[in-house]
A and B are shown apart, each in its own frame.
Chain A
């Protein structure tokens, strides 16, 4: 069974641009969560989606948005990029919602660099 796939793996953008990251969950998984990982802040929760509905949202500005499609694939978008948005963005999928109750499987991440 294929694991969680994230595309692209690497991205370089400039300040002010916007970016869209994609995540394909493990087949049969309907829940997708997104995290931002930086050396200074560590792993921070962005959003959780289940059946195309956002269940939870972390403490990030409105520039960060996401969505989930009927096939459970998910995208996240960051508009008006800032230097501080440079990070590894991780996606995780699970069979059911609830990050504590259903094992999450992580993708390799998308490394975003903002210049």
Chain B
């Protein structure tokens, strides 16, 4: 069975600082990996996804993530945090068949301090 662990339910960074949100997965087969963002009172929005190919994936709003198979990780980074990045971030995994539902992590709330 697939699972996702997001380390840190709450991360706080200063504006302009590096954002690093951690995600580790457990899967018996090569997975597809996703990062979603949820702003207050809104649904989820896809930031980026890894399927196959290049392990460094670039997404929207300056975010990127690197798939590291040896570490079973898919950490999300952004070089310089903006106030508008404050939101909840979810890592998710599915298998490559597309027939199994997405499994989400518990989420990490990002706060950006001016």
Binding site for B on A (CB under 8 A): 4, 33, 42-45, 48, 55-56, 58, 90, 92, 97-104, 106-109
Do A33 and B101 touch (CB < 8 A)?
yes
**10 more A-B residue pairs beyond the given contacts A106-B43, A107-B43, A109-B43, with a C-beta to C-beta distance below 8 A:** A33-B101, A42-B104, A42-B106, A45-B103, A58-B101, A99-B102, A100-B94, A101-B96, A101-B97, A106-B44
Closest chain A residue to B102 by CB distance?
A99
Do B43 and A108 touch (CB < 8 A)?
yes
Report if A104-B46 is in contact (Cβ < 8 Å); known contacts: A42-B106, A43-B90, A99-B94.
Answer: yes
Interface of B is mostly: loop
Query: In which size bucket is the chain B interface?
Result: 20 to 34
Question: When chains A and B are docked, how far (Å) is the Cα of A43 from the Cα of B44?
Answer: 11
Do A97 and B43 touch (CB < 8 A)?
no
Question: When chains A and B are docked, how far (Å) is the Cα of A98 from the Cα of B98?
Answer: 4
Confirm or deny: B84 has a beta carbon within 8 angstroms of a beta carbon on chain A. no
Would you give the shortest CB distance from B95 to chain A, in whole angstroms?
6
Do A90 and B44 touch (CB < 8 A)?
yes
Chain A residues near B101 (CB-CB < 8 A)? 33, 45, 48, 56, 58, 99
Confirm or deny: B55 has a beta carbon within 8 angstroms of a beta carbon on chain A. no
Closest chain A residue to B32 by CB distance?
A100
Question: When chains A and B are docked, how far (Å) is the Cα of A102 from the Cα of B46?
Answer: 11
Would you give the shortest CB distance from B109 to chain A, in whole angstroms?
11
Confirm or deny: B45 has a beta carbon within 8 angstroms of a beta carbon on chain A. yes
Do A97 and B100 touch (CB < 8 A)?
no
Do A42 and B105 touch (CB < 8 A)?
yes
